[in-house]
């Protein structure tokens, strides 16, 4: 019988410790400043590029880890440092996953290197799916992509919102409607190359949390891109649309759309981000409870505090196990027959919200001030139950998968 283990191997431990050191020495000291500035922390990203963390090679090594644990281990450590700065470092990865999930080998080899650049010339990428009237409801997407056969070009028009690195990125991956009659099955993903006319940044959002990460609208006005920028190619798209039309007529099985393929691949990684933030807040609360004295003894001597910390640590460990399971399943090619990817994201996200709230409560008045990091961590944690599928959407996905029913 094959040995079952949850022990990281030596290479994984080395990467984990390296990332933890970077998070402790570089990310954490800068966290408060960039949260207050609400700007992209370019010096930190450039430092990450110099040491090899912000690079195609690093993410490829973690992505292709045969155990599936490379990405979740990396995400947990970076987001343990600070969620806003970490999202600025890893935000390009969502666009890269979009290309990996939908692109050809040639497109992967051409565009992903341009998303990162190198240590001397750092680049960014943005994944653009959500719209002002189409967040969780992807079927309501309005951004259109029309094929100009005479010029072999696609013409994109519409507005995207909530795009990490939106408008400041060098490469944008845009999900657009190519066949409105098919709803969410009539979507496709496109690469918008650097300096393409017609693409501009709209509103930049001032956010409750993750404020060191740039989030903005992306406006597309008659954006013309070469036919080769359709991820997967036109032949594959035409075949997929034909199958979708046939199944729509016959009421057959559903076809996944381009945005959902990206989100399915990234949900366990988002869960790992949430675990990192929760763990960071728990550690601050534990240290505080052991050193803060009231009525002549450390507050951890009180069951009311000690039991909270016990529950916090239990939920964090359970969330990590769900994330690791989903990540291993994805790498092993096992189907999420019980929506395990959504389970991991749901539980980890809710854990981050509850654990950071408990950390603020344990610190009392100090936890409510910006003198202690749990205030920022609590604000940051709110995003995990919202982006890449709200907790309500995760529950809907899980319920539909378990029941086989079109629950609404």
Place of tokens 């016959």: 250
The residue out of 93, 122, 151 marking a domain boundary is 122
List residues bridging with 224 in a β-sheet. 155
* CATH number of the domain encompassing residue 361: 1.20.140.10
For residues 346-375, give the mean pLDDT.
98
60: phi then psi, degrees, rounded to nearest 5: -65, -45
| Residues assigned a catalytic role | 388
If one counts the domains in the chain, the total is: 3
Place of tokens 């098919």: 182
Question: Given this model, what pLDDT does residue 255 score?
Answer: 46
Residue-averaged pLDDT of the chain: 94
**169: helix, coil or strand?**
coil
* CATH number of the domain encompassing residue 241: 2.40.110.10
Q: Let me know whether 78 and 141 are in one domain.
A: no
In a domain, 2, yes or no: no
Question: Given this model, what pLDDT does residue 262 score?
Answer: 55
pTM: predicted TM-score of the whole model, two decimal places: 0.93
- The whole-angstrom separation of Cα 69 and Cα 9 is 10
Q: Let me know whether 15 and 109 are in one domain.
A: yes
**122: helix, coil or strand?**
strand
In a domain, 369, yes or no: yes
Checking if the pLDDT of 21 tops 50, the result is: yes
Q: Let me know whether 64 and 155 are in one domain.
A: no
Q: Let me know whether 62 and 91 are in one domain.
A: yes
Q: Let me know whether 286 and 395 are in one domain.
A: yes
* pLDDT category of residue 257 using cuts at 50, 70 and 90: low
* CATH number of the domain encompassing residue 46: 1.10.540.10
**320: helix, coil or strand?**
helix
Q: Let me know whether 233 and 185 are in one domain.
A: yes
- What count of other Cβ atoms lies within 10 Å of the Cβ of residue 49? 21
* pLDDT category of residue 265 using cuts at 50, 70 and 90: low
Q: Let me know whether 246 and 266 are in one domain.
A: no
Write the Ramachandran bin of 295: left for phi over 0, alpha for psi from -120 to 50, otherwise beta.
left
- The whole-angstrom separation of Cα 215 and Cα 277 is 19
Name which of 102, 98, 178, 182 is nearest 139 in CA terms.
182
In a domain, 100, yes or no: yes
List residues bridging with 153 in a β-sheet. 148, 226
Question: Given this model, what pLDDT does residue 260 score?
Answer: 57
**pLDDT-wise least confident of 93-107, 126-140, 234-248, 303-317:** 126-140
In a domain, 338, yes or no: yes
Checking if the pLDDT of 71 tops 80, the result is: yes
Checking if the pLDDT of 404 tops 90, the result is: yes
Q: Let me know whether 117 and 136 are in one domain.
A: no
Checking if the pLDDT of 55 tops 90, the result is: yes
**pLDDT-wise least confident of 12-16, 332-336, 359-363:** 332-336
In a domain, 193, yes or no: yes
Question: Given this model, what pLDDT does residue 251 score?
Answer: 61
Q: Let me know whether 299 and 384 are in one domain.
A: yes
Q: Let me know whether 147 and 171 are in one domain.
A: yes
- The whole-angstrom separation of Cα 145 and Cα 135 is 18
In a domain, 408, yes or no: no
As given in the structure block, the two tokens for residue 58 are 């690093």
Checking if the pLDDT of 264 tops 80, the result is: no
- The whole-angstrom separation of Cα 177 and Cα 408 is 23
In a domain, 396, yes or no: yes
The residue out of 122, 137, 161 marking a domain boundary is 122
**Predicted confidence (pLDDT) per residue in 104-134, tens digit:** 999 999 999 999 999 999 999 999 999 998 8
Domain that holds residue 185: 126-250
Question: Given this model, what pLDDT does residue 261 score?
Answer: 52
Place of tokens 């693409």: 199
In a domain, 232, yes or no: yes
The residue out of 224, 250, 276 marking a domain boundary is 250
Checking if the pLDDT of 220 tops 50, the result is: yes
Q: Let me know whether 136 and 240 are in one domain.
A: yes
DSSP code string of 250-310: HT------HHHHHHHHHHHHHHHHHHHHHHHHHHHHHHHHHH-EETTEEGGGSHHHHHHHH
Checking if the pLDDT of 308 tops 80, the result is: yes
* pLDDT category of residue 266 using cuts at 50, 70 and 90: confident
Question: Given this model, what pLDDT does residue 183 score?
Answer: 87
Non-local (6+) Cβ contacts of 181 within 8 A are none
Question: Given this model, what pLDDT does residue 341 score?
Answer: 94
Non-local (6+) Cβ contacts of 199 within 8 A are 167, 172, 192, 218, 219, 220, 221, 223
Tell me how many degrees the CA angle 55-264-147 measures, rounded to the nearest 5: 85
170 or 388: whose pLDDT is higher?
Answer: 170
Q: Let me know whether 169 and 47 are in one domain.
A: no
Question: Given this model, what pLDDT does residue 258 score?
Answer: 55
Checking if the pLDDT of 84 tops 90, the result is: yes
Q: Which of 132-141, 251-260, 265-274 has the highest mean pLDDT?
A: 265-274
């Amino acid at each position: 019988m094959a040995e079952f283990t949850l022990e990281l191997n030596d290479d994984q431990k080395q990467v984990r410790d390296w990332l933890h050191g970077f998070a402790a020495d570089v990310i954490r000291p800068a966290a408060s400043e960039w949260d207050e500035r609400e700007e992209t922390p370019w010096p930190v990203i450039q430092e990450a590029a110099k040491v090899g963390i912000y690079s195609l090679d690093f993410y490829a090594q973690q992505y292709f880890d045969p155990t599936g644990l490379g990405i979740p281990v990396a995400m947990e450590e970076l987001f343990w440092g600070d969620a806003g700065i970490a999202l600025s470092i890893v935000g390009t990865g969502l666009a890269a996953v979009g290309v990996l999930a939908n692109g050809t080998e040639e497109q992967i080899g051409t565009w992903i290197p341009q998303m990162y650049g190198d240590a001397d010339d750092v680049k960014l990428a943005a994944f653009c799916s959500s719209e002002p009237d189409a967040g969780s409801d992807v079927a309501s997407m309005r951004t259109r992509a029309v094929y100009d056969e005479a010029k072999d070009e696609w013409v994109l028009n519409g507005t995207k919102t909530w795009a990490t690195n939106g408008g400041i990125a060098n490469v944008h991956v845009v999900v657009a409607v190519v066949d409105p009659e098919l709803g969410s099955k009539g979507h496709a993903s496109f690469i918008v190359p650097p300096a393409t006319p017609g693409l501009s940044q709209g509103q930049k959002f001032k956010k409750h949390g993750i404020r060191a990460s740039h989030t903005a609208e992306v406006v597309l006005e008659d954006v013309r891109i070469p036919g080769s920028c359709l991820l997967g190619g036109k032949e594959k798209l035409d075949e997929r649309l034909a199958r979708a039309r046939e199944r729509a007529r016959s009421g057959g099985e559903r076809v996944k759309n381009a945005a959902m393929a990206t989100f399915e691949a990234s949900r366990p990684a988002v869960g790992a981000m949430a675990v990192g933030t929760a763990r960071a807040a728990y550690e601050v609360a534990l240290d505080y409870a052991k050193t803060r004295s009231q009525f002549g003894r450390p507050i951890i001597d009180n069951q009311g505090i000690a039991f909270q910390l016990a529950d916090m640590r239990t939920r964090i460990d359970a969330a990590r196990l769900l994330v690791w399971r989903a990540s291993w399943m994805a790498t092993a090619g096992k189907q999420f027959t019980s929506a395990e990817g959504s389970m991991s994201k749901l539980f980890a996200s809710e854990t981050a919200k509850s654990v950071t709230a408990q950390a603020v409560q344990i610190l009392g008045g100090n936890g409510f001030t910006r003198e202690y990091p749990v205030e920022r961590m609590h604000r940051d944690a709110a995003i995990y139950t919202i982006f890449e599928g709200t907790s309500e959407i995760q529950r809907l996905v899980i319920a539909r998968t378990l029941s086989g029913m079109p629950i609404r």
